[in-house]
Chains A and B, each alone.
Chain A
Amino acid sequence: DVKVTQSSRYLVKRTGEKVFLECVQDMDHENMFWYRQDPGLGLRLIYFSYDVKMKEKGDIPEGYSVSREKKERFSLILESASTNQTSMYLCASSLGGPVQNIQYFGAGTRLSVL
């Protein structure tokens, strides 16, 4: 089974802190994604990566950055956390290529910024 592991289920941070959310997948997937989930808005894509050291902005990248130094790990960084970044963050991964387009998700990190 594909396993996508997010390092924390719950996280509480203070405004202005630098926050790292970590995601690791064990299936040698090329693609990795970070989404933000908010009630009534569904999931919105923040950033994605289709290869090591490659990244592309999603729909809501402002206030976030990402890092992918190894194929299995994709980190989401909040440079200076703000209260409007309180949310559920979901990581996903998928194989590259047009056919294998199923995304597998982690359990999510619920971040509260106080």
Chain B
Amino acid sequence: AQTVTQSQPEMSVQEAETVTLSCTYDTSESDYYLFWYKQPPSRQMILVIRQEAYKQQNATENRFSVNFQKAAKSFSLKISDSQLGDAAMYFCAYRSDQGAQKLVFGQGTRLTINP
């Protein structure tokens, strides 16, 4: 079974600085998808960015980018120019390319932005 590990329960960063959230996963599959989801306080979870494992190029969405290291099974999220609205729980998730579309989530990282 696949597992996802986020080893940083909490992180903090100064506004306008850059922060990197870590995620590692374990799988024997070669094709899969990886996601970062954001859950703001008392609000619904939304997708931040996703990466297809067959793509070598790292995904980027505005201030959010990933460092996908397939051999190391690592998938970190970099947030540049941090803003107060980035404060949230961030979850890393894995989805197999086979079978059902269920997501396997990590434990989450709570990100605080200091003004």
Q: Which residues of chain A have a CB within 8 Å of any CB of chain B?
A: 4, 31, 33, 35, 40-45, 48, 50, 56, 58, 90, 94, 96, 98, 101-103, 105-108
CB-CB under 8 A from A41, the residues of chain B are 107
The proximity string for B residues 15-48 relative to A, scoring 1 for CB distances below 8 Å and 0 otherwise, is 0000000000000000001000100001111110
Interface 9-mer from B62-70, B78-86, B95-103: B95-103
CB-CB under 8 A from A105, the residues of chain B are 37, 44-46
Bound together, the chains give a CA A96 to CA B93 distance in angstroms of: 18
Q: How many CB-defined contacts (below 8 Å) exist between A and B? A: 51
Q: How many residues of B contact A (CB 8 A)?
A: 25
For chain B residues 72-115, which have a beta carbon within 8 Å of chain A?
91, 93, 95, 97, 100-108
CB-CB under 8 A from A4, the residues of chain B are 44
Known contacts A31-B101, A48-B100, A101-B95; 5 further A-B pairs (Cβ under 8 A): A45-B103, A101-B33, A102-B47, A107-B42, A107-B44
